[in-house]
Amino acid sequence: MSSSTLPLWVTIPGTVLLVLGGLATLVGSLGLLRLRDFFSRMHGPSMTNTMGAGAVLLTSMLAFSAWTGRPTFHGLLVAVFLLTGAPISTSLLIQAALHRAGLRSGA
């Protein structure tokens, strides 16, 4: 962080996004740890998946755009993979939990 300083249009949104993303990640993991049953615990990691990862990826794209001097969109690929993968795995985990709880016979 010493050779070239970041401009102001990166540091202000980057700081806000980093703090918000870190808080969302921490609150989501606390929900994963402290909620009572499995279907309540499903809510926690979705906060990490959407808001924490989204904020960190936006900050990464902003910072690398400033460092390389041209618009950089390398975070979009990870965001696409996460945002398409998270609902599928969540739905499959809920189906598995319902199947194991005996609430649904066939699957």
Partner 1 sequence: MNAVFNGALWFTQICVVLAMLNATARLLIGPAAQDRALAFDSLYVNGMLTLLLLGIRSRSTAYFDTALLIALFGFVGTTALAKFLLRGDVVEP
**Segment 1-30, which members bind partner 1 (CB under 8 A)?**
1, 5-6, 8, 10-12, 14-15, 18-19, 21-23, 25-26, 28-30
Could you say which of 67, 70, 73, 103 contacts partner 1 (CB under 8 A)?
67
The Cα 20–Cα 1 span in angstroms is: 22
Picking from 33, 36, 37, the residue whose alpha carbon sits closest to that of residue 45 is 33
**Residues 27, 31, 35, CA angle at the centre, nearest 5°?**
155
- Dist. CA 10–CA 58, nearest whole Å: 10
Provide the binding-site residues for partner 1, judged by CB under 8 A.
Answer: 1, 5-6, 8, 10-12, 14-15, 18-19, 21-23, 25-26, 28-30, 32-33, 38, 41-42, 44-45, 48-49, 52-53, 56-57, 59-60, 63-64, 67, 74, 77-78, 81-82, 85, 88-89, 92-93, 95-97, 99-100, 107
